[in-house]
Amino acid sequence: MSGPLEGKVALVAGATRGAGRGIAVELGAAGATVYVTGRSTRAHRSEYDRPETIEDTADLVTAAGGQGIAVPADHLDPSAVRQLVGRIADEQGRLDVLVNDIWGGEKLFEWDTPVWEHDLDNGLRLLRLAVETHAVTSHCALPLLLRRPGGLVVEVTDGTAEYNRDTYRVNFFYDLAKASVLRMAFALGHEIGPRGATAVALTPGWMRSEIMLEAYGVREENWRDALAREPHFAISETPRFTGRAVAALAADPDVARFNGSSLSSGGLAREYGFTDLDGSRPDAWRYLVEVQDAGKPADATGYR
């Protein structure tokens, strides 16, 4: 059976692991052809020095029912991104969905460290990886996406516009990076909306990425064992939950109503009715405000 995105072409920039991988797989499950990019391949690891690769992601996309195509790319290099987009144009003649999920900052930020004490080189590198890469990719890819009406751009960030407006996020560099991506979606909405396309910002909740599971010493199969260490982890979600949010947006003929908006995986689950892999609908950002930040005991009842 064909999926709702059969015949559609997507580029998930930053799809090696985490949200990018989850998004790529769910777009594939909906029938899309998905180009997945990143710097970690089976032949070469990025400075993350982790085992996940873009080839693995592409295989998962294909196994889910789509066509996964892995293309190594450093999104700080405009020539490499132009070459990538040129390849998509030559092979497919179209681009329907662009997901900017490039991040690369996990090892660069220092928790609760003021700007004057933070390593400056690391902070500036974080901003280049998390912000400049998105700008480069949009600059190069949007002319192809705009060839046909109905294109979708998803800027993946951490936190909704409402939450980040009033909340200091980790440190100066992290806060600035995530706020910048939110603003990118708003600005792109003004630029591509009149040209028949839609741009949104999307945040996962507390995501059980490969790195997060490793930090808690658990696997996806036994993730609840981490609750003894961090009870609020009960609200966490898989990367596929964010993927289902993107797939739902991409299949929605009325997606333009969200143009320029800040969205969350939990909020879109209520809108579209999809669930996480376990059948639940975790609403992490509502939980964060009403339970965790409010100092209440951890209890995800009514929030997933």
The dihedral built from the CA positions of residue 12, 16, 22 and 27, taken in this order, carries a sign that is: positive
Q: Are 53 and 40 in contact (CB under 8 A)?
A: yes
174 is catalytic: yes
Q: How far is CA 218 from the centre of its chain?
A: 22
Return d(Cα 8, Cα 30) in angstroms, integer. Answer: 10
Return d(Cα 275, Cα 130) in angstroms, integer. Answer: 28
Q: What does the longest C-alpha to C-alpha distance in the chain come to?
A: 57
The dihedral built from the CA positions of residue 218, 219, 224 and 227, taken in this order, carries a sign that is: positive
Query: If we measure between CA atoms, which residue out of 100, 161, 160 comes closest to residue 136?
Result: 100
Q: Catalytic residue among 174, 272, 287, 303, which? A: 174
Return d(Cα 33, Cα 301) in angstroms, integer. Answer: 38
Q: Are 109 and 174 in contact (CB under 8 A)?
A: yes
Catalytic site positions: 174
